[in-house]
Amino acid sequence: MTTAQLDKMRFELRRGVLVLAVLASLKQPHYGYSLRKQLQDGGVDIDEGTLYPLIRRLADQELLTSEWRQGEGRERRYYQLSELGSQLLAQLTDEWQNLNNAIGKLLLANSGEIE
Amino acid sequence: MDLVKRYVAAVQRELPDNKREEIGRELEANIMDQLDAQAEQNGPLTDNAIASVLKAMGHPRQVAQQFAPIAPLIASEHMQIYRYTLFMVLGILLVLQVFNSTANWLEHDFGLLLFVKSILSGFIEDASFAFTTITLGFIVISRAKPQYLQQAKEWQVEQLPSLQASKQHISLQDIVTDLITDTFLLAVISYLLLLSPEDLAGKTVWLTAHTQQVLLLGLPLLVVGVLLSLWQLSARQWNKGMQLLNIVLNIGFVVIMLYLAFNGPLLQIDQQNWPQIYGWERLQHAATWALLIGACWPAYEVIRDVIRLRRLSLSKIG
């Protein structure tokens, strides 16, 4: 498999999961850079070009609320999970856990066969 | 910080008016946070270091597209039929322009270069109009509520065609070809028949009264042909009624074309003004042969549909 193919598949794999990671991180208010930092510290590396438009898209869908705040001599737009976003996050979390368990078993079973 | 301002302004230029200020403001705040974090780690940033950060964010146009993706003018589900329509209409216009320029060339006997120029300029003029009209039409269709979404909700597995019936599938290309050909012929014949005597006065070659009467009989057939194509477009599957109608329609076309071919003359020619380089008898012969060759296509469709109808009946018995 070429690097380009691998990158494309990683992108496909991560795309849906990133929404879950962003929603989960926004239980507490964050501005763009602090959210990116929190995700990075948690082991989810995401570039600015993907993250910032994603947050705006989620806010447009009313899954996040946002407000401009002044701090450290600069204005920043803070985002936080809305009521609708919290409901969606709960549903997506269940979905993720079911999927993770099922795929985990499949991967374990297949690794056993390979050995 | 001039570089940051320039970068944000470059992104804003690519954004729609209603999003420009809000996204620019937020993007600048995000970039400044990132630069501050880097400065904390590495000390004051040089212009080169700032440029590297901005370059890593991507080209301003790319960044703007991620914030405000551009919706395609023509929806992807209409793209195939749009392509076929353009291909067919532009093809017909080119053929028509070649005929038109050839007729002018025979009448006025100008040079080869002017003949080629006449074809190209006429085609480009017609093609620009056709392209604009078709594209605008499809943009309007794409903006309308997509019908396929409703169909996607209401479909039933049991309604899917059987494996034998899948041979009765009508390709989109065939439907569009028939629809455009019938509409085009309808428009051309109506135009030819509606020309006033004043318009006809300057013509060297024209249709005889007999030809015009027969063509008038063909108009209802063409209307039925257009309606049949629209029916096919909604059903996308041959059925007995559709096959029978198509057979009757094509037999009608074959009869009219053969009748015209064998009951000439097709054209009336002003022999005084007709150039001597090309005999008018040869022109009549060419028109007759064009009709005979043209009749082969509907004749082929009659044979094809009879075979299909037989298969359809057999599959139902089976």
- Greater model confidence, B66 or B200: B66
pLDDT over threshold 70, residue B58:
yes
* pLDDT band at residue B309 using 50, 70 and 90 as cut-offs: confident
List, for residues B192-214, the tens digit of each pLDDT value: 788 777 776 667 777 888 888 88
Task: Give the pair of three-digit tokens for residue B44.
Answer: 């004051």
C-beta atoms of B63 and A77 within 8 A: no
Closest chain A residue by Cα to residue B69 = A53
Task: Give the pair of three-digit tokens for residue B192.
Answer: 């030819």
Structural domains in chain A plus CATH codes:
3-114 (1.10.10.10)
- Greater model confidence, A19 or B163: A19
What's the confidence (pLDDT) of residue B24? Answer: 93
Query: Chain B residues with CB inside 8 Å of A67's CB?
Result: none
Percentage of chain A lying above the pLDDT 90 cut: 57
pLDDT over threshold 60, residue B148:
no
pLDDT over threshold 80, residue B75:
yes
pTM here is: 0.60
C-beta atoms of A52 and B33 within 8 A: no
pLDDT over threshold 90, residue B100:
no
What's the confidence (pLDDT) of residue B102? Answer: 82
List, for residues A33-59, the tens digit of each pLDDT value: 899 999 999 998 888 888 988 999 999
For residues B47 and B3, is the Cβ–Cβ distance under 8 A? yes
**Comparing A84-93, B138-147, B183-192, which segment has the lowest mean pLDDT?**
B138-147
pLDDT over threshold 90, residue B274:
no
Percentage of chain B lying above the pLDDT 70 cut: 88
What's the confidence (pLDDT) of residue A29? Answer: 94
Cα B16 versus chain centre, distance? 31
pLDDT over threshold 90, residue A66:
yes
Residue with tokens 């992807």: B76
- Greater model confidence, B29 or B309: B29
ipTM of the complex: 0.81
Interface of A with B in 48-87 (CB under 8 A): 48-50, 52-53, 56, 74-77
Query: Chain B residues with CB inside 8 Å of A32's CB?
Result: 26, 29-30, 33
Q: Name which of A42, A44, A26, A31 is nearest A89 in CA terms.
A: A26
Q: What b/e sequence results for A63-94 when a residue is b if at least 16 CB atoms lie within 10 Å of its CB, and e otherwise?
A: bbbbeeeeeeeeebbbbbbbeebeebbeebee
